[in-house]
Amino acid sequence: MDFDRPLFAFRPPYGPHLNADWETLDFMSDIGVDAVCVSPMNTTNSLGEPYTNYPNVWRYDDTYDFALVDRQFRDILRHCPNARLIVLVDLNSPLWLARRLSIDSFYDVSSCSLHPEWRRQVTAYLHAFLDHCETTWPDRIIAYVLACGRTQEWIEADNAKPSSLKSAHYPDWCRQRQLPLLPIPRADELRSSSSPYPWLYHPDQDRHLIQWLRYVNELTTELAIHFVREARQHTRPDVRLGMFFGHVHAMLPTGQMDCERLFRTQPPDFLIGAACNCAPQMGSASGYTTVYRTDRRFGFGFIHENDRLTTTSNRHVSPDIALEGGIWVKPDATAADVAMVRRETGLCLVHHFSTWWFNIWGQSYKTPEIRSALRRSREIWSQHCLTSSGSAAQAVFVFDPDASYHLNRHAPGIANLAWPFRQTLYTYGIPFDNATLDDLIQDGADQYRLFIFQNPSCLDDSRLQWLRTHVLKPGNAVLWMLPPALDHDGKLDPELAAELAGCPPETAEFHRATLPSGTLAAACFQPTLLNKQRFRQLAQDAGVHLYADDDQTVFCASPELLMAHRAEPADVTIRLPKPAHTIRELYSDTLVATDTDHFTDHFDGPDTKLYLLR
């Protein structure tokens, strides 16, 4: 699979909903979509419902019925004869294995990684599955997705919980890492902190909590490394391997904070992230669940899984289960469907992502309006999927996965720094990238003027010196969402935190200061205190380009493409960082302006425009 040319792909529905909506695959094939994800699953979802309406392929110990895999592939090909297949490999415990071994990887990946019989069984299945597919379908399969853990995404919600396997292996892990054998934490200890700051574990007194969280995250990575290594030995050199991995935004050490070790040791070729893991409302943007700068640093492709609901989406997972609320909210008008399709397409084109449209429970792409939007998106994709040179954002949202081990995720308010904060940032109308601190250290930070630090409280001296040299410079602005370097080289240092933030770590209001370095520093240690006006003013003072004075329009930009999205109708004047010879809106194929650095366009509500800048 050539990720130098991003894919515009489709993923059919789960379970019995597949048979109820083959017609959408027919439509996707008609508009030229030929990359299709197939999911021969052996497990049930988080609601206990089967992922597939086909019988299980993996029947019992070393017993497989691969004729069922062939049947699923042939069913896809009947509706999409030119299909190139992206095949999901289900590495979770079938029910019979979970019952027999009393262990289930869907909720206990970290323990499964240490269970010799579980590893033997699943590795044997992986080998047999890949050997069959590579022998029987080599001309059709372009990629495999190695899926494990909760919702197949390598997540373990309560991996800090001790188990007999994890507890027994812990002394060996400590010896291998040349670390002291510290006590295994009790559940109640993980919910509190010994430091004066309830959201930050004490670097000394809570050292056993920090070390344990690192240990259980490494177990997940070790298993991922094992499966990628084994898969490489049973696949063609040109076939691609992907995973749902590297989702560190949530700050929760639930299996993926150690992702960079996987990327360095046994890297997959591409990562995947689901769009619906965030608020779907108009006037915002879905963003992406991996880290943009990390993907670029390691040369990964990224598939943006667009599993958003539409006005016609089915939410009845079964006759007895209907999804309501949370991320399962349907738009109330087809105009929102169209704006969503254009917004997600524009986001992917700007960032050079692939996408697959996931018709998760069926019936999502039924109206003439949404089909017209998908058809036009596919046409634009064929012409412009290589047009963008990458994000032109001058602001960056910075995470430190390692620091997440030091944060008490049970502390009041800390969860507001994860998904809710990132989604709020999108509504502020200023394009921003995301990066880990290591991404910026390795690849540079000169593109950015505004740095939003999600969890900067744990810094060693080398990282602090890099920040002083490359970020805390005259003219730049930093927004600290937690006190910076409060844990400095393993010691609490509130004086240093106050020096870097321009205010004490106990500050309970939004605070701005100019540091001696000439850097504009804003401290917002309670994320709900940040609002659109404060953020946009900070960006403007740092010299970040504002594409519009109107603060209701969301932008995503490269030097060549500009996506603009808004919920309400308006005439919006848009300013470009530099003049363009021609400005063409791609969905309407309209020449909007020539030889200018600003123009005005009318937006219906809701609406999304995608401009080509020449």
pTM, full prediction = 0.96
Q: Domain residues of the chain, as ranges?
A: 8-157+217-384, 553-613
pLDDT score of 280: 64
Which CATH entry fits the domain spanning 8-157+217-384: 3.30.70.260, 3.20.20.80, 3.60.140.10, 3.40.50.300?
A: 3.20.20.80
**What per-residue confidence (pLDDT) applies to 422?**
86
CB contact at 8 A, 568 and 551: no
- Taking the C-alpha atoms of residue 157 and residue 254, their distance in angstroms, rounded to an integer, is 6
Query: Residue 508: its pLDDT value, please?
Result: 94
In 3D space, the residue among 101, 135, 107, 102 whose CA is nearest the CA of residue 121 turns out to be 101
Q: Quick one: which of 385, 379, 311 has its CA closest to 355?
A: 385
Cα separation, 355 vs 347, in Å, equals 10
Fold observed for domain 553-613: Immunoglobulin-like (2.60.40)
Cis, bond preceding 606 (omega within 30 deg of 0): yes
Low-confidence ranges of the chain (pLDDT < 70): 1-4, 277-280
Are the CB atoms for 415 and 454 separated by under 8 Å? no
Task: Give the pLDDT score at 277.
Answer: 61
Token couple for 422:
């990132």
Residue 418 pLDDT:
84
pLDDT at 415: 85
pLDDT, position 1? 42
**Which pLDDT does position 279 carry in this prediction?**
59
**Cα–Cα distance, 398 to 393 (Å, whole number):** 13
Do strands 63-64 and 84-90 pair parallel, antiparallel, or not at all (unpaired)?
unpaired
379 alpha-carbon distance from chain centroid: 26
pLDDT at 281: 81
Rounded Cα distance between 83 and 35, Å, is 6
Task: Give the model's pLDDT for residue 3.
Answer: 53
